[in-house]
Amino acid sequence: MNLLKSKLRRATAVVAGTLIGFAGVAFFAAPASAHSSDVKGTPWCDTATGEWVVDWEVNTDNGNERGAENYRFLLVESKPTPVEGIVHTPDDADPAFPHKSNEPLKGVQRVPGDTRFAKLEVQVKWSDEWIEYEHRKGFVKFRGTCSKEETPTAEPDASLASTCDGVTVTLTNGEDAKADAEFTVKGSKGFEKTVTVKAGDKPATLDIPAENAAKVVVTEKSSDKPILEGKWEKPADCTPPSEGQTEIGYEVTCDSLIFGIDNTEGTETFTLVLKSNKGATKTLVAKAGEEKTLTVKGEKGLVINATINGEAQEPLKWDELKKPEDCDATSTPTPTPTESTPGEGGGLPVTGPVAGSIAGGAALLLAAGAVLFILARRRKVKFTA
C-alpha cells in the first residue's frame, strides 16, 4: 500500500468537500443578503393642529442585482391611521413594480394628539421576483400629549360715515384681540394710509376728503379680502347757501372794532349783543332789508362777548386780534369817553347811521371789503373775523 498516495487522496477529498460546501452556502445565502428593506419612523408634534406626525421612510437594497432595479409592496399595514405616500401595490398596477430600489420612499402619518404609539409594517417584492418573506416593521412611541397652541390673532373691523367734506373711517380691533390689527386704507386719486390699532386700544379714525373718497377700500394684513368697501355720499343737509341770507361780521382797524349786519336780503330780524368785560353792553338790530354797523373803541385788555339772536359766539380779545400792517406798533389805544366805548358806561343800541363816526365806520366797512362774514339763516351763526 502506498501510504503517501492514500493520504494525498484523502486530503484532496477534504479540500474538495469544503469548497463544495462553501459554494453551496454562497449559492443559497447570496439572494437573501442581496435583497433587504428597512422601516424607520420619526415623530413630531404639530402644534398648529394638535396632532402627532410620523415621518416614515422605507429603504430598500437590491445589492445591485441585475433585474431587481424596482420593487412593489405586497403588504402595507399601519396603525392607528393610514400612511400617506406608502400604500399596498395593486396586482394590476402599471407598472407592476412602481418603486425604485436603493432610493428612500417617504410617507407621512397623522394621529390624534393623545395617541400612545404608531406602527408601519411592509412586505417587499423585487422585480426579479425575489420576495422578502420576513415582514419589516417600524414602531414609534409618543411621549406625552401633543396640544394645539393658540396663535395670537387680531379682530379687525371697519365702518364708514359720510360727512359734508368727505368720509370718516373708523378702525377697530375687537375686545378679545390678542394681536395688533394693521389696516391699509386706500381711496381714489392715489390716497393711501396705513393705521395700526393695537390689541386693547380704542378705535382709530381717519378722515378722507371727498375728492379722494369716490372709492374707499380697507384691508387688514391677516385677511386676503377687504373688510370694508364704500364711497362718499353727500349728506342731504349739506345744501350750499342760497341767495337772500344774512351776513354778520366785524373788521379790525388800528384802534377800533367795526361790527356789521348786512340783512338787505334777509327775511327776519337779527340782533347782535356785545358785552364788554369793562361792564358795558351794546346792541345792534337789523330788520329784514336793513344794513347796520357799530364801532367799538379798542383798548388794552378789552374782551367782548357777543351773541347773535341769543346764540353765544367766541369771545373777541383786543390784544390778540390782528391789526392792519400800517398801524403804529408803539402806540397803545386808550379809551375815550364816548357813547360807543363799552368800558365807559355803555350807550344806547345803534339802529342806524345816527352818528358821524358810525357812518364813517360803515363807509370804511363797505370800501375796504375786508369784513369776514358767517352766513346764517334760521341756523346758528358763528361770529368770526
Give the start-to-end residue ranges of the domains of the chain.
Answer: 36-141, 156-230, 246-376
* 223/348: higher pLDDT: 223
**Using CA atoms, how far apart are residues 9 and 205, in angstroms rounded to an integer?**
111
252-255 own/partner pairs: CB under 8 Å, 24+ apart: 252/298, 252/321, 252/322, 252/323, 252/324, 252/385, 253/323, 253/324, 253/364, 254/323, 254/324, 254/326, 254/327, 254/328, 254/333, 255/297, 255/298, 255/333
Mean pLDDT of 175-190: 93
Closest to 81 (Cα-Cα) out of 39, 60, 51, 48? 51
| Strand 166-173 to 156-162 pairing | antiparallel
Is residue 54's pLDDT more than 50?
yes
Q: Are 40 and 66 in contact (CB under 8 A)?
A: no
Can you give the pLDDT at residue 94? 94
Residue 145 φ/ψ, nearest 5 degrees: -120, 140
| Residue matched to cell numbers 340782533 | 271
Is residue 217's pLDDT more than 90?
yes
CA distances from 327 to 9, 282, 330, 340, 384 (A): 147, 26, 9, 21, 22
> How does residue 119 score in pLDDT terms, banded at 50, 70 and 90?
very high
Q: Are 173 and 155 in contact (CB under 8 A)?
A: yes
Kind and range of the H or E run holding 361: helix 356-368
> How does residue 185 score in pLDDT terms, banded at 50, 70 and 90?
very high
Is residue 122's pLDDT more than 90?
yes
pLDDT tens-digit series, residues 350-366? 333 333 444 444 444 44
Can you give the pLDDT at residue 245? 75
Residue 322 φ/ψ, nearest 5 degrees: -80, 125
* Residue 96 DSSP symbol: S
Is residue 331's pLDDT more than 80?
no
Can you give the pLDDT at residue 366? 42
Mean pLDDT of 189-193: 94
**Using CA atoms, how far apart are residues 27 and 209, in angstroms rounded to an integer?**
92
**Using CA atoms, how far apart are residues 173 and 179, in angstroms rounded to an integer?**
9
Can you give the pLDDT at residue 356? 42
CATH of 36-141, one of 2.60.40, 3.40.50, 1.10.3470, 1.10.10: 2.60.40
Is residue 82's pLDDT more than 50?
yes
Kind and range of the H or E run holding 51: strand 51-61
- Average model confidence (pLDDT) across the chain: 80
Low-confidence winner among 20-29, 86-95, 257-266, 291-300 (lowest mean pLDDT): 20-29
Domain 36-141 matches domain 156-230 at the CATH topology level: yes
pTM above 0.85, yes or no: no
Is residue 180's pLDDT more than 80?
yes
> Percent of the chain beyond pLDDT 90?
49
Q: Are 51 and 110 in contact (CB under 8 A)?
A: yes
| Residue matched to cell numbers 445591485 | 64
Return the C-alpha cell found at 190.
392715489
> Percent of the chain beyond pLDDT 70?
75
Can you give the pLDDT at residue 373? 38
Is residue 55's pLDDT more than 90?
yes
CATH of 156-230, one of 3.30.1490, 3.40.50, 2.30.30, 2.60.40: 2.60.40
Can you say whether residue 359 is alpha, beta or left, with left for phi > 0 and alpha for psi between -120 and 50 degrees? alpha
Is residue 88's pLDDT more than 90?
yes
174 CB-near residues (< 8 Å, 6+ apart): 154, 155, 156, 157
* Residue 241 DSSP symbol: P
Residue 21's SS3 state is helix
In the chain, what's the furthest Cα-to-Cα distance?
Answer: 177
Low-confidence winner among 61-65, 80-84, 196-200 (lowest mean pLDDT): 61-65
Can you give the pLDDT at residue 7? 52
**The residue type at 90:** P
Is residue 247's pLDDT more than 60?
yes
